């Protein structure tokens, strides 16, 4: 089995790489190269690392090159940024708003579209979304631009699913995870989240259509 994990230098992406290596998979992992000691510490025999900033024009082609011709059983895009969590969206600069949307919504779909033909017919395409991207579940507000970016990601995944009706496509909420993004107070370790995500994706593998799941495999309200 072979997986591509995009955004694997640290956090949930790194934990997903470790989890799939432990499950005996071959893994292609991407990093921006700004510090990837975690990846280097993993067992390297079944791991291939490629340097790519997902916002670079050439990133999808570089990642496709590293993936090679052997089809993927799983493509999971984890790279993402929080942006300004405090400021209402309408008070952000256009540049600050756009950069979060580009990284969290446009970049994943650019990678997914570019690599769609590298995913095996029964394979899975997943992007790490967030429950904060749930429009129906937004009763508290806050995190405006982050919420907007994950709602946009979910919408673009559904557009992709309509164009590719036989595909298994998952928007994945990873839980509240102890990473640089959520801090030490979060409830899950990255590895617990990754284990849950891998189990949830395995349970869903081969099912056509686009679903929004959490790390326990439970449906999340769009």
Ligand X SMILES: NC(=O)c1ccc[n+]([C@@H]2O[C@H](COP(=O)([O-])OP(=O)(O)OC[C@H]3O[C@@H](n4cnc5c(N)ncnc54)[C@H](OP(=O)(O)O)[C@@H]3O)[C@@H](O)[C@H]2O)c1
Give the footprint of ligand X on this chain (CB under 6 A).
Answer: 7, 9-13, 32, 34, 53-55, 78-81, 103, 128, 130, 173-174, 176-177, 179-182, 186
> Which lies closer to ligand X via its Cβ, residue 13 or residue 123?
13
The least distance separating ligand X from the CB of residue 109, rounded to whole angstroms, comes to: 13
Distance separating alpha carbons of residues 20 and 43, to the nearest angstrom:
11
DSSP assigned state of 92? S
Beta carbons within 8 Å of 20's beta carbon, 6+ residues apart: 1, 3, 5, 27, 74, 198
Q: Write out the two tokens for 24.
A: 């005996």
The least distance separating ligand X from the CB of residue 122, rounded to whole angstroms, comes to: 25
The least distance separating ligand X from the CB of residue 146, rounded to whole angstroms, comes to: 7
> Which lies closer to ligand X via its Cβ, residue 120 or residue 186?
186
- What kind and span of H or E run contains 144? helix 144-163
Provide φ and ψ at 157, rounded to 5°. -65, -40
- Within 10 angstroms of residue 183's Cβ, the number of other Cβ atoms is 10
Structural contact between residues 184 and 145, judged by C-beta atoms closer than 8 angstroms: no
> Which lies closer to ligand X via its Cβ, residue 57 or residue 180?
180
> Which lies closer to ligand X via its Cβ, residue 164 or residue 182?
182
Q: Write out the two tokens for 121.
A: 């017919």
> Which lies closer to ligand X via its Cβ, residue 25 or residue 176?
176
The least distance separating ligand X from the CB of residue 179, rounded to whole angstroms, comes to: 3
Structural contact between residues 132 and 143, judged by C-beta atoms closer than 8 angstroms: yes
The least distance separating ligand X from the CB of residue 24, rounded to whole angstroms, comes to: 23
């Amino acid at each position: 089995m072979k997986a591509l994990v995009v955004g694997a230098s640290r956090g949930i992406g790194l934990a997903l790489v470790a989890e799939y290596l432990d499950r005996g998979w071959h893994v292609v992992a991407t990093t921006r190269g700004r510090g990837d000691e975690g990846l280097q510490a993993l067992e390297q025999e079944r791991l291939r690392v490629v340097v790519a900033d997902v916002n670079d024009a050439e990133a999808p082609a570089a990642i496709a090159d590293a993936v090679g011709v052997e089809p993927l059983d799983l493509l999971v895009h984890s790279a993402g940024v929080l942006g300004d969590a405090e400021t209402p969206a309408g008070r952000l600069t256009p540049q600050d708003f756009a950069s979060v949307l580009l990284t969290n919504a446009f970049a994943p779909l650019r990678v997914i579209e570019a690599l769609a033909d590298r995913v095996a017919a029964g394979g899975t395409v997943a992007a790490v979304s967030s429950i904060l991207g749930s429009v129906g579940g937004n009763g508290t507000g806050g995190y405006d631009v982050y919420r907007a970016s994950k709602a946009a990601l979910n919408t673009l995944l559904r557009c992709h699913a309509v164009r590719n009706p036989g595909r298994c496509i998952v928007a994945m909420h990873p839980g509240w995870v102890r990473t640089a993004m959520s801090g030490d107070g979060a409830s899950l370790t990255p590895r617990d989240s990754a284990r849950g995500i891998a189990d949830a994706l395995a349970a869903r593998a081969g099912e056509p259509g686009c679903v929004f799941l959490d790390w326990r495999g439970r449906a999340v309200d769009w």
